[in-house]
């Protein structure tokens, strides 16, 4: 039975890995690969490489062909630490993608190296009393709907 390390070793035999520093120099050199971030939505929302395409690892095989249609394009896949991206790149290779690179160290090393990334705007502040008023109205409406449904059920009995 194969271990996790066996899977990673086999993946490294067919998937090229680049360190964060190498990826940064590569991108700064004018190269324009597709950047595929396979972290979860919560990770993506905390920050990601500029221009990256978000495809969570659990949806990669279902969505990648739509989001990265040219299987001959160069693609750099990254995750938080470099493991999911390496295994995800193997899946992409099995789907026919030819030019794959996994970013070793992932977004964690990218951020730790003070490389630039995009952070979505902070969520808007709660609207205070106006928000509370809307919620109160919504609750009242839902309670009314529930009462109507109960009345119909009782009438049907």
Catalytic residue among 27, 64, 79, 87: 79
The sign of the CA dihedral 20, 10, 91, 30 is positive
Answer with the residue of higher pLDDT: 19 or 141.
19
Domain spans, the chain: 4-112, 125-157
Most confident of the following: 107-111, 117-121, 135-139: 107-111
| pLDDT tens readout for residues 67-97 | 999 999 999 999 999 999 999 999 999 999 9
Q: What pTM did the predictor assign?
A: 0.75
Q: For residue 16, give Cα distances in angstroms to 13, 74, 118, 132, 134.
A: 8, 11, 25, 53, 53
115 is catalytic: no
Q: Where are the alpha helices (DSSP H) in the chain?
A: 4-14, 20-28, 41-45, 60-67, 83-94, 106-112, 129-156
Q: Which two tokens stand for residue 69?
A: 């249609």
Q: How confident is the model at residue 126 (pLDDT cuts 50, 70, 90)?
A: low
Q: What is the CATH number of domain 4-112?
A: 3.40.250.10
């Amino acid at each position: 039975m194969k271990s996790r390390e066996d899977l990673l070793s086999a993946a490294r035999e067919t998937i090229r890995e680049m360190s964060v520093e190498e990826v940064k120099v590569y991108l700064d050199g004018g190269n324009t690969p597709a950047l595929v971030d396979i972290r979860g939505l919560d990770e993506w929302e905390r920050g990601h490489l500029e221009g990256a395409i978000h495809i969570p690892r659990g949806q990669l095989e279902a969505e990648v062909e739509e989001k990265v249609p040219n299987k001959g394009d160069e693609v750099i896949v990254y995750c938080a630490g470099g493991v999911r991206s390496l295994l995800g790149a193997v899946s992409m290779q099995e789907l026919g993608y030819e030019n794959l690179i996994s970013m070793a160290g992932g977004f964690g090393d990218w951020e730790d190296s003070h490389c630039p990334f995009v952070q979505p705007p902070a969520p808007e502040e709660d609207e205070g009393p106006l928000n509370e008023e809307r919620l109160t109205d919504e609750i009242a409406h839902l309670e009314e709907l529930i009462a109507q449904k109960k009345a119909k059920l009782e009438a049907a009995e």
